[in-house]
Amino acid sequence: MLALRDGQLYVLAPDGWTRLGGPAPASSTPLNREDAEDWCEREGWDLHLLDQVPQLTA
């Protein structure tokens, strides 16, 4: 799963969110929160990870 926050792209990895360089893959599909929660449940990921996407600090 990919997440975009503050213009930065992150990928969900087994050890948490990892920052990526470059644009999102052209084959990626946007998800709303409900769909992302459904994906986490289906794949066995902790739903709280959706609230832990890193933020850029000022």
In a domain, 22, yes or no: yes
CA proximity to 51, closest of 38, 37, 31, 35: 37
pLDDT tens sequence across 18-42? 999 888 889 999 999 999 999 999 9
- How many domains are contained in the chain? 1
Domain holding 18, by residue range, is 2-51
pLDDT tens sequence across 9-20? 999 998 899 999
Distance CA 17, CA 11 (A): 6
Residue 46: what residue type?
A: D
In a domain, 56, yes or no: no
Assign 58 a pLDDT band (cuts: 50, 70, 90).
low
pLDDT of res. 3: 93
In a domain, 58, yes or no: no
In a domain, 45, yes or no: yes
DSSP string, the chain: -EEEETTEEEEEETTEEEEE-SPPPTT-----HHHHHHHHHHHT--GGGGG-------
Assign 49 a pLDDT band (cuts: 50, 70, 90).
very high
The pTM of the full predicted model, rounded to 2 decimals, is: 0.82
